Amino acid sequence: MRELTSRGYNADRDAVTLLADEPDPARAVEHVVEHAPADVLTISAAQVREALDARDDTEETATEGDRSDRPGPSATPSSESAESDESASPTAESANSATESASATTNSESSISTGRETTRTGEQDSGSAPETKGVGGGDGAAPGGSDGVADAMDADSIGAFERAVDETLHEVSIANDITGQSTGTGEYGDFVSVFRDRYDRLSSKLRGRVNHRPTNALESMGGGSEAAIVGMVNDIRSTASGHWLIELEDTNGVFPALVMKDRDIAAHVDELLMDEVIAVEGSLAQDGGILFVDSMHFPDVPRTYKPNTADRHVQAALISDVHVGSQEFADYAWESFARWLHTEEAEHVEYLLIAGDMVEGVGVYPEQDEELDIVDIYEQYEAFAEKLKQVPGDMEIVMIPGNHDAVRLAEPQPAFDEELRDIMSAHDARITGNPSTVTVEGVNVLMYHGVSIDEVIAEHPSESVSYDAPHRAMEQLLKKRHVAPQYGGRLRVAPEEKDYLVIDDVPDVFHTGHVHKLGVGTYNNVRLVNSGCWQEQTAFQKSVNIDPDVATAPILDLDTLDVTVRKFEN
């Protein structure tokens, strides 16, 4: 019966008996499923007989995807070691490869070549940056083009303007930071804990909304009764007749839920990712072995969410993906951004949030060294520290690592270690893990580098969720209340005692980067900002047609959550 329901079929009792009496029931089921008419949902005894009579010996083996198995919330811890303990390795991979590579560059400043005439020192022009688009509260539109290239710079403001920042008003606190809390060793038991914790915390957001039953209690409820399940998505497949069969897992086991293809909710199925936690409601089949789904619920953000705002007019610049050390690092653009921060236009910009990829890193992808301007990872951070020194000293800087940084690649990523902190100490930045919740003057900003955005874009059926609108992918993460729902794809996840990637509290602002594309939007009143980058198009990006948004800085008003995108000349 289980075997049939797992393939999207219900069956009459006699049909099951016939199959069970076969010498090889598994093969028989295989056969019956193959021969079942396309539109049949419940297999009858007659159909079993017919299929078995018509049996020939050509049999196909069902193939599953190559997604590596993870223990779901119903698994029991054992002492077995996890297969992929590389994903849990606490070593800094890039740093390791860096120590092996020779330090070819000693003067990182002079080695950065931009291929441009720059006026970096002395009486250079000031950075008056054009405002490309203001995005008001409540409007979900992306800022569209960042095509307004800088006009002639306004030469009189530099030096003439003195920032008057009252640093005693600054308030920054950090929560949900893995740094120093990592206990995972990559053992099987760690995977069990992290998925349990994910299930517990996300299911608690759904339990009040449906009258759910544990999976192992459903079968005894009696055919036809109304029922609901809160479960982690364990498997999704389409049945021979094109309906969707979703296997949901809770702490007691698994249960199949069937979504009919012609129902409105079928559209939700396309958006599902493995391992996200959802609730479904519907009615049980006659024999109780499958749930026919009428409605689907996500942990989501309440539509009526009221974001927090700051008590005074103060702004934060939200950037990411600086990639210092890359030949494509947009040095000139950074200089104009840093200059602009010293102008009157930027007098209220008192915070700088950097969402990962400070440096280009070493050994991040094959043949990356051919595009490196600085080959030593520590020298890359030294060069980055010089870039930070150009930022006004009265600004508070908060930064998290990304996949190019010299910390472990698996998420959650702990913050930079002591050695790297020392290198970057000049500006006294706050250095925290990826992800982290950073509260700035009362506004909760969820900072996450954004590696899962690649995956959401790849999996989402709609063209509107694309590299040109990364904020639309961010909406999906908020809806699922998890920054990296799908385990086992290109994203590496380190198992920890709790799941740091769950979005427990609704943030006021969600700030990501990684895809090097600008995106600004709103989702149920949460402000979404995906920063662009400070790296020109790389050879790899060219090969896959990624046209990065270089040198744009979204400026967030902390008192209104309005965003103004500034574009700098690059």
How do 443-447 and 509-512 pair as beta strands?
parallel
Beta bridge partners of 564: 134, 555
CB of 457 to ligand D5M, least distance (A): 8
Binding characters for Fe ion, 462-491, by CB under 5 A (x = yes): ------------------------------
Q: Is residue 376 involved in binding ligand D5M (CB under 6 A)?
A: no
Token pair listed for 14: 């006699």
Distance separating alpha carbons of residues 91 and 145, to the nearest angstrom = 40
CB of 449 to Zn ion, least distance (A): 6
Distance separating alpha carbons of residues 289 and 162, to the nearest angstrom = 72
Dump the DSSP string for 474-515: HHHHHHHTBSS--TTSSS-B---SS-TTB--SPPSEEEE-SS
Binding characters for Fe ion, 302-341, by CB under 5 A (x = yes): -------------------x--------------------
Q: Is residue 287 involved in binding ligand D5M (CB under 6 A)?
A: no
Q: Is residue 566 involved in binding Zn ion (CB under 5 A)?
A: no
For ligand D5M, the closer CB: 222 or 540 = 540
CB of 95 to ligand D5M, least distance (A): 17
Contact predicate 570/536, CB 8 Å: yes
What are the C-alpha distances in Å from 188 to residues 81, 122, 156, 184, 351?
5, 59, 63, 10, 41
Q: Is residue 492 involved in binding Zn ion (CB under 5 A)?
A: no
For ligand D5M, the closer CB: 256 or 450 = 450
Q: List the single partner that 540 binds among Fe ion, ligand D5M, Zn ion, none, CB under 5 to 8 Å by kind.
A: ligand D5M
What are the C-alpha distances in Å from 153 to residues 119, 128, 158, 345, 549?
12, 6, 10, 13, 21
Q: Is residue 321 involved in binding ligand D5M (CB under 6 A)?
A: yes
Backbone angles phi, psi at 521, to 5 degrees: -160, -170
Segment 122 to 161, residues that bind ligand D5M, using CB under 6 A: none
Piece of 250-258, 356-364, 466-474, 483-491 that binds Fe ion (CB under 5 A): 356-364
Token pair listed for 293: 């789904």
CB of 371 to Zn ion, least distance (A): 15
First to last CA, the chain: 64
CB of 272 to ligand D5M, least distance (A): 22
Q: Is residue 357 involved in binding Fe ion (CB under 5 A)?
A: yes
For ligand D5M, the closer CB: 138 or 365 = 365
For ligand D5M, the closer CB: 371 or 497 = 371
Token pair listed for 466: 């694309």
| Binding-site member from 249, 275, 300, 357 for Zn ion (CB under 5 A) | 357
Q: Is residue 405 involved in binding Fe ion (CB under 5 A)?
A: no
Segment 435 to 464, residues that bind ligand D5M, using CB under 6 A: 454
Piece of 17-25, 85-93, 300-308, 509-517 that binds ligand D5M (CB under 6 A): 509-517
| Binding-site member from 212, 268, 408, 514 for Zn ion (CB under 5 A) | 514
Size of the site for ligand D5M (CB under 6 A): 12
For ligand D5M, the closer CB: 36 or 355 = 355
Segment 395 to 414, residues that bind Zn ion, using CB under 5 A: 402-403
Piece of 151-159, 231-239, 299-307, 513-521 that binds ligand D5M (CB under 6 A): 513-521
Contact predicate 358/406, CB 8 Å: no
Pick the closest to residue 200 from 296, 277, 127 (CA basis).
277
Pick the closest to residue 528 from 486, 467, 464, 472 (CA basis).
472
**H or E element, residue 159:** none
Q: 345 CB contacts (<8 Å, ≥6 apart)?
A: 128, 129, 157
Distance separating alpha carbons of residues 451 and 490, to the nearest angstrom = 9
For ligand D5M, the closer CB: 479 or 514 = 514
Query: Per the omega criterion (within 30 degrees of 0), is the bond before 214 cis?
Result: no
CB atoms within 10 A of CB 68: 12
Alpha helix locations (H) across 158-187?
none
Binding site for ligand D5M (CB under 6 A): 321, 357, 365, 403-404, 454, 514-516, 540-541, 546
Point out which residues bind Fe ion (CB under 5 A): 321, 357
Residues forming contacts to Zn ion in the complex (CB under 5 A) are: 357, 402-403, 514
